[in-house]
Amino acid sequence: MANHKSSIKRIRSNDAKRLTNRYQAKTMRNALKDLREDENKKTASEKLPKVISMLDKLAKKNVIHKNKAANLKSKLAKKINALKK
């Protein structure tokens, strides 16, 4: 158990941040899965900017690494461009 006031506070804040990060990461994974499963090029193209924005925000907050965000964005763009109509 923590002995210092500051370490007790740090434990509380870490728990709160961990929950927020888990929620945001799970939301991102669900959005990615939804976009990957979409076979319609028009609807996928409409979803892409929202997912890209989400990835950029999570990379900025260090929930995911910036290179991982870049790789995911690239793969999604390639997949959507390869879709037919």
Please name each of the domains of the chain with its CATH number. 5-82 (1.20.58.110)
Q: pLDDT by residue (tens digit) across 34-71?
A: 999 999 999 999 999 999 999 999 999 999 999 999 99
**Inter-residue contact 55 to 73 (CB < 8 Å):** yes
**Inter-residue contact 70 to 61 (CB < 8 Å):** no
Q: How many other CB atoms are there within 10 angstroms of residue 51's CB atom?
A: 19
Return the higher-pLDDT residue of 2 and 69: 69
Q: pLDDT by residue (tens digit) across 44-54?
A: 999 999 999 99
Residue 62 phi, psi (nearest 5): 65, 30
Task: State the average pLDDT for the chain.
Answer: 94
